[in-house]
Structure 1
Amino acid sequence: MPALPTFSMLGHGPTVLMLHGSGGGFRAFAPQVEALASLGFRGVAWNMPGYGLSTPVEPYSFMALAASCVHLIEVLMAESPRQSVALVGHGMGGMLAQEVAVRRPDLVRQLVLVATAPAVLPGDAYDQHIAQGLRWLDEGKSMDAIADTLLPRLVSPGALPEGVQLATFCQAQGHAAIWRRALEAMRGFDRRSALAQIAAPTLLVAGEHDRVAPPATLAAMAHALPGARSVTLPGAGHLPHLEQPDAFDELLIDFLRTARARPLH
């Protein structure tokens, strides 16, 4: 059984588990954890294996990361009459959320995919983003220097400054070796053929100015996911939940309160 990853948790009520992107950490969803707790949910944000104090997995693959996530969900819900969670994933965390929803649909009550993609294909925008990160690592840039260079490229001009500061801090706190392995893992990700298997109600959120996972990518995913809805957040780039947290939280809370699974026939 994989080691239990570290996480933050606040509130009581239906559990919402948030999975950060490759440049994040549990703090990347701090605004949402607080907002959810204040509105009757239990907000949980993990540190992906290798991030913060979470033990890395071997091999560093989506299969192993999904096993770690499943283990956390089972521990969180061990004493709950409701054995499933709402799963929210950003970037790489959105890819992992897809992986968990395909592998263990019984554990995912609702699904929110933020600024992510169903696959990373050679030469596409996400692949170019990953390639740039790997080049910086090959050049020996520190995570501090990478954060200072990368974040201005990811966010929109109208981004909340405090959100950008938090995102920069999370990126800078990452371990270079783990970030490299996360980027390399994403290059092999492809769940396009499995999207139709995901039955959980799904909300897809894109940033208007996101060049890594543009709105068209999320809209195309919504067409492939049964009953999914895609929303583009004005004034946001690749980090909608931190750039426009109030607008993002409004979308998230409304979805969590109203989205229901389709009846089985």
Structure 2
Amino acid sequence: MTIEAGEGRTVLLLHGIGGRASIWQPTVEALGVDHHVIAMDMPGYDGASPALDNFAAVADAAAALLTSRGIGQADIVGHSLGGMVALEMAVRHPELVRRLVIVASSPAFGSRDPAFREGFLAARQKPLDEGIGMAGVARMVVPAMLGPDADPGALPAATAAMSTVDEGAYRTTLAMLTTFDRRADLPNIMQRSLLLGGESDTTAPPRGMQRMADAMPAARLTVIPGVGHLLPLEAPDAFHAAVRGFLAEA
């Protein structure tokens, strides 16, 4: 599924592992005033298409979405997992990427240790193995992602979106997440880039995002106070102002 609105230069929105295109609706409306905005479901997330198990294929699918519409270049905004896909697009399809906005994300999975990877996957999949479904997982994990000053609408919006994620796609994407590592490629990503972090984010802490910004030739970090990992929903006005300002820069 995609959500599309507006006219002008194209902005492609890529959601996180527990998101859907629908989670971007406020951003589609905010940016659609002066941009052509597309929010896409990750492959498999709507249950109507197969999930993909590697970042190259997901980045290629996002690139194909643009080229199928005759779009030669776009600004890419990626949150969390979507930020990883955005980095992958910048490496694999640099000609399609005008600017990058990387939100609450990382250039690599947390550890190369196989034991850490296995423990991570076991912990994330255990609730599903016990049968609570994606709605149950959403009720468990979303509250812990929020910062102290989160907008009251962030919790119900994020919970509703995650509850509709296809379980099989979520499991496949969890495994894919543990394979990501583009740290060595950061110095080669030449697009002007804005990194946005949440002050209280423990999943993608600002200190890690600062290291990523330092490794990229044309990147800077902005930290939004009082919010956590879901900052587009937690601080929508500050988020949209930062993105719109960055995209409008000469």
Structure 1 CA distance for aligned equivalents of residues 155 and 225 of structure 2: 16
Instruction: State the AA in 1 paired with 2:61.
Output: S
Question: Which one of 31, 36, 39 corresponds to residue 42 of structure 1?
Answer: 36
Q: Which amino acid aligns with 1:174?
A: V
Given candidates 160, 164, 168, the residue that maps to 1:173 is: 164
Question: Which range moves more in the overlay, 101-110 or 48-57?
Answer: 48-57
- Cα deviation, 1:214-255, whole Å, max 9, x if unaligned, reads 001111100000120001111110011000000000000000
1:236 counterpart (219, 227, 231): 227
Structure 1 residue 249 corresponds to structure 2 residue 249: no
What is the distance in 2 between the residues matched to 1:69 and 1:35? 22
In structure 2, distance between residues paired with 1:69 and 1:247: 26
Give the structure 2 partner of residue 121 of structure 1.
110
Alpha-carbon separation, structure 2, partners of 1:132 and 1:156: 23
Match of 1:68 among 61, 64, 67: 61
The 3-state SS of whatever aligns with 1:161 is coil
Distance 1:142-1:53 versus aligned 2 partners, 3 A rule:
closer
C-alpha contact 1:208 1:235 (8 A) present in aligned 2? yes
Q: Could you state the TM-score of these two structures normalised by the residue count of structure 2? A: 0.93
Identity %: 38
Q: Do the aligned partners of 2:104 and 2:229 also contact (CA within 8 Å) in 1?
A: yes
For the 8 Å contact 1:48–1:54, the answer to whether it is kept is no
Q: Counterparts in 2 of 1:49-198, with a 5 A limit?
A: 49-52=43-46, 55-58=49-52, 60-76=53-69, 78=70, 83-122=72-111, 132-198=123-189
1:135 alignment partner, SS class: helix
CA distance in 2, matches of 1:10, 1:142: 32
Structure 1: distance between partners of 2:218 and 2:183: 16
Q: Does 1:12 align with 2:7?
A: yes
Contact 2:51 2:172 in 1 (8 A): no
Runs of 4 or more above 6 Å deviation: 126-129
Q: Secondary structure at the match of 1:149?
A: helix
2:131 aligned counterpart, secondary structure: coil
Cα deviation 1:110-146 (Å, max 9, x = unaligned): 000001100013389x968765422322333211111
Q: Report how many aligned residue pairs link the two structures.
A: 247
Q: Residues 79-106 of structure 1, C-alpha deviation per residue, up to 9 Å, x if partnerless?
A: x5xx210000001110000001000100
Structure 2 letter corresponding to 1:142? G
Q: Which runs of no fewer than 5 residues in structure 2 stay unpaired?
A: none
Q: Which residue of 2 aligns with 1:263?
A: none
Equivalent-residue separation in structure 2 for 1:186 and 1:176 (angstroms): 15
CA contact under 8 A between 2:12 and 2:74: conserved in structure 1?
yes
TM-score (norm 1): 0.88
How big is the shift at 1:209? 0.6
SS in 1 for 2:78: strand
Shift in Å, 1:53 = 5.4
Instruction: Give, in angstroms, the shift of residue 66 of structure 1.
Output: 1.1
Going from structure 1 to structure 2, the CA distance change for 1:42 and 1:179 (only over 3 Å counts) comes to same
Q: Which residue type is aligned with residue 120 of structure 1?
A: F
Query: 107-116 or 126-135: which moved more?
Result: 126-135
Q: CA RMSD in A?
A: 1.8
CA separation in 2, counterparts of 1:101 and 1:33? 22
Whether the 8 Å CA contact 2:121–2:174 is kept in 1: the answer is: yes
